[in-house]
Amino acid sequence: MPELPDVEGFRRELARRLPGKRAHGVDIRDAGVLRNCSARQLERAVRGHRFSTPQRHGKWLLLPTDGPTLLVHSGMTGRPYYTRVDAATARDDRLIIRLDRGELRYADQRKLRGIWLARDAAAVKQTICPLGPDALTLDRDTFFELLRDTRRRLKPTLLDQRVIAGLGNLLIDEICWQARVNPHRSLTDLEGGELRRLYTTMRRVLRTSVRHGRVPALRNWLTRARDQPQPCCPRCGTRLRRVTAGRTTFYCPRCQPAR
DNA sequence: TCAGTTGTTTATAT
DNA sequence: AATATAAACAACTG
């Protein structure tokens, strides 16, 4: 499920335990999660190095050491976590890095993305390169600048990590719904007020979601409604529209009219 | 058996 | 050139 709030939750959790820990060994249980190196290369590169504070950009999690940096992209099902050595392993635990105290693990059911090894800052940049500014620290002027001058539709643009990094399917549907803007609108047709509303709504939705470590299914949120058998708008009760083109989009035809 | 899944990339079409 | 669409990646659920 990971979007920005989930990844920020992973980062927060690891930040409590990982800094200062030294990697002693690597246990690759499924090399399919390694995207740019072999198991042997990872082991050789990482062993003996001490982790520092985890960073995040968009949906990327950066795990720097005093040597190389591990780059984690969770795809739809990945989850990096810290645990005690004696904790039971699950089938989807693909990688275990043994530390001088505890273990860093990466669990992933579907393995759509995975883990990259970056030997220096340049390699980090190269791997996560064409990424827009992080959604959490994006200021309003930049937001306007990024979304001006394009005829693209709102949702695919917000979904594009090269424009803004961190927003995913759930977040974007939630933001568009709370801001009462139809996700299929072309950006050229949006008025200044609508764009301002999208920005302030994005800030609010992100702040709340980051606090929860996920996009929460709160009582008055679209995210709760979309999981129900007969999804209705929490604001006006209208039956929600469900569009499947690529990712599934939910919106309220009454609160978010097409033009 | 088949459709569906919260991410991203690539190829193809308009 | 810019934009849109579909498929592919992998694995599991209902």
pLDDT digits (tens, 9 = 90+) for A56-106: 999 999 999 999 999 999 999 999 999 999 899 988 999 999 999 999 999
Q: CA-to-CA distance for A79 and A100, rounded, in angstroms?
A: 21
pLDDT at A200: 97
Residues 6+ apart with CB under 8 A from A149: none
pLDDT at A227: 86
Q: Please tell me whether any atom of strand C lies within 7 Å of the Cβ of A156.
A: yes
pLDDT digits (tens, 9 = 90+) for A103-157: 999 999 989 999 999 999 999 998 987 899 999 999 999 999 999 889 999 999 9
CA A79 → C1' C10, Å? 16
Predicted structure pTM score: 0.95
Q: Could you identify the residue whose CA is nearest to the C1' atom of nucleotide C10?
A: A110
Which nucleotide does the CA of A59 lie closest to, via C1'? B7
Q: Please tell me whether any atom of strand B lies within 7 Å of the Cβ of A75.
A: yes
The catalytically annotated residue of A3, A8, A103, A174 is A3
The catalytically annotated residue of A11, A21, A56, A59 is A59
Average pLDDT over residues A203-226: 94
**Residues (104-143, chain A) with CB within 7 Å of strand C atoms:** 109-112
Q: Is A59 a catalytic residue?
A: yes
Q: Please tell me whether any atom of strand C lies within 7 Å of the Cβ of A243.
A: no
Structure tokens at A131: 């990424």
Residues 6+ apart with CB under 8 A from A91: none
Q: CA-to-CA distance for A127 and A114, rounded, in angstroms?
A: 12
The catalytically annotated residue of A22, A29, A152, A247 is A247
pLDDT digits (tens, 9 = 90+) for A178-203: 999 999 999 999 999 999 999 999 99
First-to-final CA distance of chain A: 31
Q: Could you identify the residue whose CA is nearest to the C1' atom of nucleotide C7?
A: A246
Q: CA-to-CA distance for A34 and A14, rounded, in angstroms?
A: 20
Using H for helix, E for strand and C for coil, what is the string for A197-229?
A: HHHHHHHHHHHHHHHHCCCCCCCCCHHHHCCCC
**Residues (44-73, chain A) with CB within 7 Å of strand B atoms:** 58-59, 73
Q: CA-to-CA distance for A80 and A76, rounded, in angstroms?
A: 13
